[in-house]
Structure 1
Amino acid sequence: MRLALLLLCAAALAGCSAYPLTETSQTHDNSSSAAAPTTTTTTSLTLPPRPREIPLDKVNPCAILTKDQRAQLSLDTPPSPYTDTDLKARACTIRGTYSGQVARLALVTNEGADLWISDEAQNTAKVIAIVGFPALEVRTPGLDTLCNVEVDVAKGEFLDVLFRDGGGAAPIPQDDLCLGAQRVAEAAMTSLSGGH
């Protein structure tokens, strides 16, 4: 079963994606973006309409962030492409040698971002906005060394940004990881929107 495989992936998480794992979506009130709307219900969440569509089928995940953007985000290793088998998506990982942070961008073109707030998802999700696009900040129970931001870019497509602690000298608090995920998502959406 897909959810069982995803649970194993999340538990092993070295380069894997965090994925929706349980039944209900909840919200966390730790807002890290002043402009981001927050939700107060712990039942079902809905994403607001996107301003336009940005299809991802012809996008190279490792070419989204420019060299300058990567430097600003303290991600200094060369982008490394791979296929995320759980998300069935083209993906790219970029590490920060000195920051101890790892960012992963995956281009999901076979399911919408509302997957993360479906009845099967078990995580803590909060509706936010990234460069005017609806998005979700997602925290998975038991995995406090990472945070995901899911940006609704087109019908049945989303940008998945995972930001995690790469095992540096000092642990990175999850609130900081979620801020990092939002910063990476904002840079990526600025590029995808043609603003870099």
Structure 2
Amino acid sequence: MIVALTASALVACTPLPDNKADGRVDEPLSVTTTPRIALPARPAELPLDGVDPCTVLSADQRMQLSLDNPPSAYVESSFGNAKACTIRSSISGNVVRLVLVTVEGIEVWLSENAQVEAAPTTVSGFPALTVRTPGIDDVCTVEVDVAAGQFLDVMFRDGGNKTQVKQDILCQGAQRAAEAAVAGLLQRG
């Protein structure tokens, strides 16, 4: 009896969609919430302060990733003027970007404001997220939680190939590049 009364009260309180002049009906917007992702603890701290992003990957690692052009350093303003490096492959046509973010932690990708699809993964035992932006399918990033309030952003994108690379393949490339980058950071340790 109480269940029936509660259900009828909910139905009575639910606003009905308005009919438009042309006969269409606008449906109420559905409410979507981002599920809370719990990341495991880091196995160690790999602070990024003072690291040159263009030296994170060794020449051998770059060749294993088919990154045959010289690294190019710059500052990424969207991550608080973080040090960044891009490396292009004339072999595959793809591009890798490494950004050493020291002004905020990986949690920024779990915020509802991020407007991305974040899936948990690990990189060499470190908690990480594979991040895809809805509507943008020529790029994939892996965000690695390397230290408190810091993360390594590894983007892998299609650099303008004749045949567009599928995003799942780009995500695999981002994962491989992230593994190599964390290995490079661990060797510094």
**TM-score normalised per structure 1:** 0.77
Distance 1:117 1:24, change over 3 A: farther
**Higher Cα Rg: structure 1 or 2?**
2
What corresponds to 1:117 in structure 2? Answer: 110
1:61 and 2:73 matched: no
Instruction: Please point out which of 115, 126, 136 is paired with 1:133.
Output: 126
What corresponds to 2:84 in structure 1? Answer: 91
Asked if structure 2 preserves the Cα contact closer than 8 Å seen for 1:24 and 1:120, the reply is no
Identity between Structure 1 and Structure 2 (%): 56
Structure in which a larger fraction of residues adopt helix: 2
Structure 1 unaligned regions, length at least 5? 1-22, 26-42
**How big is each residue's C-alpha offset from its partner over 1:136-187, in whole Å with a ceiling of 9 and x where there is no partner?**
0000001100000000000000000000000012110000000000000000
Taking the TM superposition and a 5 Å limit, the aligned residue runs for 1:9-28 are 25=34
Distance 2:105 2:134 in 1: 22
Structure 1 segments of 4+ aligned residues over 6 angstroms from their partners: none
What corresponds to 1:183 in structure 2? Answer: 176
Distance 1:54 1:24, change over 3 A: farther
1:160 and 2:146 matched: no
Q: How many residues align?
A: 157
Task: Report which structure shows greater RCO (CA 8 Å, sep ≥6).
Answer: 1
- What's the secondary structure of 1:139's corresponding residue? strand
Distance 2:33 2:92 in 1: 34
- What's the secondary structure of 2:49's corresponding residue? coil
What's the CA shift for 1:119?
2.4
Taking the TM superposition and a 5 Å limit, the aligned residue runs for 1:35-54 are 43-54=35-46
Distance 1:92 1:24, change over 3 A: farther
